[in-house]
Chain A
Amino acid sequence: MAAIIQTENLTRRYGRQVAVDGLTLEINEREIFGFLGPNGAGKTTTILMLLGLTEPTSGSARVLGYDPTRDPLEIKRQVGYLPENVGFYDDLTGRENLRFMAELNRLPEARITEKIEEALRTVGLNGEGDKLVGAYSRGMRQRLGIAELLIKDPKLLILDEPTLGLDPDGTNKMLDLIHALSRDRGITVMLSSHQLEQVQRICTRVGIMIKGKLVAVGTIEELAKRKLGEGGGMNLEEIYMRYFKEA
């Protein structure tokens, strides 16, 4: 198993405040990695550094073998990033939004239509492609966001709070979709969230970040053993609360 994301003492300061403090992390191929932590723990800052959108104050990172500060374009070409609360051009249809993204990614003209249809089918929006995005429900918007990422055939998906604000049905569809992408296409997924049950449902490994520090990494079983002891159950919420109180 090769490491897709590797960071070494990654640190980012804003003035005197430390947003990310010496993060050392490895995410392997075909994993679904859950990145947990309360709001303001530094999850989004970490993600922005991995994509080269923010420069680290110190430390280094490698994504798909590239250095984000020196080769951001190569990373952006192969990594699909879904920002928290992603926005669309509401006066364009779903298909037109996808086409714009495809053109920005310089897909050859001949393949664009085919790619758009395939992406819409995968996320289950093929019936709604010609509606204006302004009329989409929140769940549909999030799925369209995933479709935009699929257009570039990503090796890695970085999803920031993909299920935030969705109703239970929308949340389930979203989680199933992420799971299917990982299983069927072998895409590595890193998702940040603070909704623990969902993470527990699909993630193979989790990392808990509190106040800029990564306090724990491992599979849920490993963390459960460490914190709750043998036979203490496997509830991620309990594990998380223990870490949270200690920090």
Chain B
Amino acid sequence: MWTICKKELADHFSSTRFLILFCLILMVALVSTYMVATNIRQVLEGVSKPSNVFLLLFTTEGKFFSLVQFIAFFGPLLGIIMGFDAINRERQHRTLAKLVSQPIFRDAVINGKFLAGVITVSIALVSMMLLLTGMGLITVGVVPGWEEIGRLFVYLIVSIAYVSFWLGLAILFSILFRSLATSALAAVALWIFFSFFMGFASDLVADALSPVRNPRDPEEVVANQRVSDAASLVSPAVLYSKATSTILDPYRRSRGSVMIVGLLEKLSMERFQSPLPLDQSILVVWPYLTLLAALTLICFGLSYVIFMRQEIRSV
């Protein structure tokens, strides 16, 4: 397994597509965080004793989006790019038959590939976070507390798990579909559905299950919204963004819908609220994290079962 993992790692880091994607993500992340950082510095000038400023660096929306939103959006692409041709490329180059006729267990092939992907993702995300943290230290001039570092660390772990889910899904598609283009398309289609259309889909489900007949009746509206929220939890993208936004925002106490607040309002609101400690934040989103982990495991388990039973014919 380690031999395959080692080779795949070498392949990932020398592959052009990984480099391009990583540079793209890194560039956008640096630029948007820099804009946010200068913004924060200006706002901070009139505020006394702000707390948890460092986290704002990652969660505040700059011109278009916050870093967290950006990663939630582009992270899956990283996973898909690394996994969509894992098995069918070997099939196409006729190396799969050779690989499985070596004295290794068949599952070592997918385990090695999955592990190599996870390691690559971890290296990419961790190095990016460190770069951004360094830049934040210089531009904002605020040193993060242990609590904030802890939150960022948990955020990183959850992000790696999230990208791993997409990696697992992409590997599953690479086993199911013989053609590279089909498996890439299938994975991207699912990604687009979960990131863009999940909102519409969950609204549809909600309207079908508990329709709002009278828009003035608060109970009906709430019931409708509840169903919609529950339905949208099918999407790993929703799970992930809800989980991480709570982890990175100590003032958020529930998993409920997001209120949109500006930076200044946020800072002034802090006076009237006390932040949740990290473990309580994690407790709030624990169900989401479990669900995310479960989805990843299901994906990987499915790949495993299918691959173990699949005929290894070249062609």
Given A48-B312, A103-B3, A83–B94 Cβ distance below 8 Å? yes
Does residue A24 face the partner (Cβ distance < 8 Å to B)?
no
Q: Is the CB of B312 within 8 A of A105?
A: no
Binds A, one of B96-104, B128-136, B225-233, B299-307: B96-104
Contacts of A88 in B (CB 8 A): 93, 95
A119 to B121, CA, bound (A): 37
Q: How far is the CB of B18 from chain A (nearest CB, A)?
A: 14
Q: How far is the CB of B180 from chain A (nearest CB, A)?
A: 15
Q: Is the CB of A104 within 8 A of B102?
A: yes
User: Range of interface residues on chain A?
Assistant: 20 to 34
Given A53-B312, A100-B3, A104-B3, A86–B101 Cβ distance below 8 Å? no
Given A44-B313, A88-B93, A104-B3, A148–B101 Cβ distance below 8 Å? no
Q: How far is the CB of B8 from chain A (nearest CB, A)?
A: 11
Q: How far is the CB of B89 from chain A (nearest CB, A)?
A: 10
Binding site of B, secondary structure by majority: helix, strand, loop or mixed?
A: loop
Binds B, one of A73-81, A124-132, A199-207: A73-81
Query: A90: which of B6, B93, B97, B103 is its contact (CB, 8 Å)?
Result: B93
Query: A53: which of B6, B7, B101 is its contact (CB, 8 Å)?
Result: B101
Which residue in chain B gives the minimum CB-CB distance to A82?
Answer: B98
Query: A77: which of B100, B103, B313 is its contact (CB, 8 Å)?
Result: B103
Q: How far is the CB of A186 from chain B (nearest CB, A)?
A: 21
Does residue A233 face the partner (Cβ distance < 8 Å to B)?
no
Q: Is the CB of A51 within 8 A of B101?
A: yes
Query: A148: which of B97, B98, B312, B313 is its contact (CB, 8 Å)?
Result: B98
Q: How far is the CB of B130 from chain A (nearest CB, A)?
A: 31
Which residue in chain B gives the minimum CB-CB distance to A85?
Answer: B94
Q: Is the CB of B94 within 8 A of A101?
A: no
Q: Is the CB of B97 within 8 A of A83?
A: yes
Q: Is the CB of A89 within 8 A of B93?
A: yes
Given A54-B311, A100-B3, A86–B98 Cβ distance below 8 Å? yes
Contacts of A90 in B (CB 8 A): 93
Does residue B314 face the partner (Cβ distance < 8 Å to A)?
yes
A142 to B101, CA, bound (A): 17
Does residue A38 face the partner (Cβ distance < 8 Å to B)?
no
Q: Is the CB of A105 within 8 A of B93?
A: no
Given A48-B312, A54-B311, A100–B7 Cβ distance below 8 Å? yes
Q: Is the CB of A87 within 8 A of B95?
A: yes
**B284-315: contact bitstring with A at CB < 8 Å (1 yes, 0 no)?**
00000000000000000000000000011110
Which residue in chain B gives the minimum CB-CB distance to A51?
Answer: B101
Does residue B105 face the partner (Cβ distance < 8 Å to A)?
yes
Which residue in chain A gives the minimum CB-CB distance to B94?
Answer: A87
Does residue A153 face the partner (Cβ distance < 8 Å to B)?
no
Contacts of A77 in B (CB 8 A): 103
A88 to B311, CA, bound (A): 20
Q: How far is the CB of A225 from chain B (nearest CB, A)?
A: 37
Q: Is the CB of B98 within 8 A of A73?
A: no
**A158-189: contact bitstring with B at CB < 8 Å (1 yes, 0 no)?**
00000000000000000000000000000000
Q: Is the CB of B100 within 8 A of A53?
A: yes
Which residue in chain B gives the minimum CB-CB distance to A76?
Answer: B103
Q: How far is the CB of B213 from chain A (nearest CB, A)?
A: 54
Q: Is the CB of B314 within 8 A of A83?
A: yes
Q: How far is the CB of B3 from chain A (nearest CB, A)?
A: 4
Name which of B4, B99, B100 has the most chain A CB atoms within 10 A of its CB. Answer: B100
A215 to B178, CA, bound (A): 35
Q: Is the CB of B105 within 8 A of A73?
A: yes
Does residue A84 face the partner (Cβ distance < 8 Å to B)?
yes
Q: What 7 A-B pairs come out closest when comparing CB atoms?
A: A87-B94, A77-B103, A83-B97, A87-B93, A76-B103, A103-B3, A81-B101
User: 27 A-B residue contacts at CB 8 Å?
Assistant: A53-B100, A53-B101, A53-B312, A54-B311, A73-B103, A73-B104, A74-B103, A76-B101, A76-B103, A76-B104, A83-B94, A83-B98, A83-B314, A84-B314, A85-B94, A85-B314, A87-B98, A88-B95, A90-B93, A100-B3, A100-B7, A101-B98, A103-B3, A104-B99, A104-B102, A148-B98, A152-B103
Q: Which residues of B approach A to under 8 Å, CB–CB?
A: 3-4, 6-7, 93-95, 97-105, 311-314
- 10 extra A-B contacts, CB within 8 A, seeds A77-B103, A152-B103: A51-B101, A73-B104, A74-B103, A76-B101, A83-B94, A83-B314, A84-B314, A90-B93, A103-B3, A103-B6
